[in-house]
Amino acid sequence: MRLVLDAMGGDHAPGAVVDGGVLFARAYPGHEVVLVGDEARVRPVLEKAEPPENVLFRHASEVVEMDEHASAAFRRKRDSSLRVGFELVRDGEASALVSAGNSGAVMAGGLLTLGRIPGVERPAIAALFPALKGGGRCLLLDAGANVDCRPLHLAQFAVLGEAYVRMRLGIARPRVAVLSNGEEPSKGTVLTREASALLRGSPLEFVGYVEGKDLFSGDVEVVVTDGFTGNVVLKTSEGVGMGMAGLMRQAIEKRGGLPEKLGALLLKPTLAGLRRVMDYAEYGGAPLLGIQGVGIVAHGRSSPRAIFNALVTALQAARSGMHEEMTRCIRNAAAWLPAQQKGKKATDANESD
């Protein structure tokens, strides 16, 4: 299988991206990685990394920068690494794309180049969270692609997320919920109440409202919300994880006594394991669900290890039959979802990492 890697995407590109692609190629010699980017910038890094033969290269002269308007830049820069990469997927020359670049542009590229699964109004970015019970996971979507949503969109996110969790995590009957400011049905907004009403009439295992803390409880596997709220939750969770680690380190250094140092030494393996569970680099990027193909949005600050795991996620998604299952589920959901608004234009993207 051949995977495309946007060599110019991310805060540490092309170095960290190239290194991550080479790590993957060495670990998965039966698959190919196509690095797409500016040859003058990528070639020196690639040669230094001494890549195996299953690392390929495709030149692209332009880059969609992180601070550019996503859809406009994607349309204007026809030889950008992101656009060339998506065209390789569209033309059947590759099975999936990974980018740590402008997430709004990844969304725009998926829509404009690959298109949507029939019936899907808006694709969504899906982020995995660690759960307390049994080492499980919880999928949150949308994590930043669509700032403004309607109830139909949240209901479709639930269908896409439920299919993804079944295919990726092997959970036969994922529990689905709507993110709200309380568990009582009277809470929430017009959006959450109407989305909940749709999901109560669905064949999904809908459990109602959950609060932010329930993302980590292990009591639910799929949580849907609008992209503005989802992205705030995602970024806040990352900040809490980094803040807790920093506070613990400061407390140990401030006390500085022998008992604290011994305790820190004894806890080091445990804390290292906890850090791996909380580290975004371990989750392999967030899939863009609802497009006609596989697109993975990696974190803008991705390290080589994060890029490696994003490529693993892309490989798993491409060979799992996930796209076909989502297509089937969206088609079947037409029986309980309201008719789509004809002629209403779907948003390209409203968030950049």
Q: How many residues does the chain have?
A: 353
CB atoms within 10 A of CB 248: 13
118 CB burial (10 A radius; 0-12, 13-18, 19+): exposed
Contact status, residue 18 vs residue 7, Cβ threshold 8 Å: yes
What local confidence, expressed as pLDDT, does residue 342 receive?
Answer: 44
What local confidence, expressed as pLDDT, does residue 251 receive?
Answer: 65
- Please state, in angstroms and rounded to a whole number, the distance separating the CA atoms of residues 280 and 302: 9
Q: Domain-by-domain residue ranges, the chain?
A: 2-239+272-333
Edge to edge, the sheet with strand 32-37 lists 55-59, 32-37, 2-6, 96-99, 295-297, 286-289, 124-130, 137-141, 222-224, 175-179, 205-210
Contact status, residue 126 vs residue 215, Cβ threshold 8 Å: no
Q: Where are the alpha helices (DSSP H) in the chain?
A: 15-27, 39-49, 70-76, 81-90, 103-109, 151-169, 190-200, 227-255, 258-278, 304-319, 322-333
What local confidence, expressed as pLDDT, does residue 28 receive?
Answer: 97
What local confidence, expressed as pLDDT, does residue 267 receive?
Answer: 59
Q: What is the pLDDT along the chain (353 residues), one digit of tens a residue?
A: 999 999 999 999 999 999 999 999 999 999 999 999 999 999 999 999 999 999 999 999 999 998 888 889 999 999 999 999 999 999 999 999 999 998 889 999 999 999 999 999 999 999 988 887 766 789 999 998 898 999 999 999 999 999 999 998 889 999 999 999 988 888 999 999 999 999 999 999 999 999 998 988 889 999 999 999 998 988 887 776 666 666 666 666 676 666 666 666 665 565 555 455 455 555 568 999 999 999 999 988 899 999 999 999 999 999 888 889 999 999 999 999 987 644 444 444 444 44
Backbone angles phi, psi at 322, to 5 degrees: -60, -40
- Please state, in angstroms and rounded to a whole number, the distance separating the CA atoms of residues 305 and 301: 11
What local confidence, expressed as pLDDT, does residue 282 receive?
Answer: 55
What local confidence, expressed as pLDDT, does residue 345 receive?
Answer: 46
- Please state, in angstroms and rounded to a whole number, the distance separating the CA atoms of residues 105 and 69: 8
Residue 98 structure tokens: 């990974």
Strands 286-289 and 175-179: unpaired
Q: Within 13 Å and on the Cβ side, how many CA atoms surround 184?
A: 2
2-239+272-333: CATH class? alpha beta
Backbone angles phi, psi at 139, to 5 degrees: -100, 125
- Please state, in angstroms and rounded to a whole number, the distance separating the CA atoms of residues 336 and 206: 14
Q: Which residues contact 74 (CB under 8 A, 6 or more apart)?
A: 64, 80, 82, 83, 105, 108, 109, 112, 348
Instruction: Say how many Å lie between the first and final Cα of the chain, rounded.
Output: 28
What local confidence, expressed as pLDDT, does residue 271 receive?
Answer: 52
97 CB burial (10 A radius; 0-12, 13-18, 19+): buried
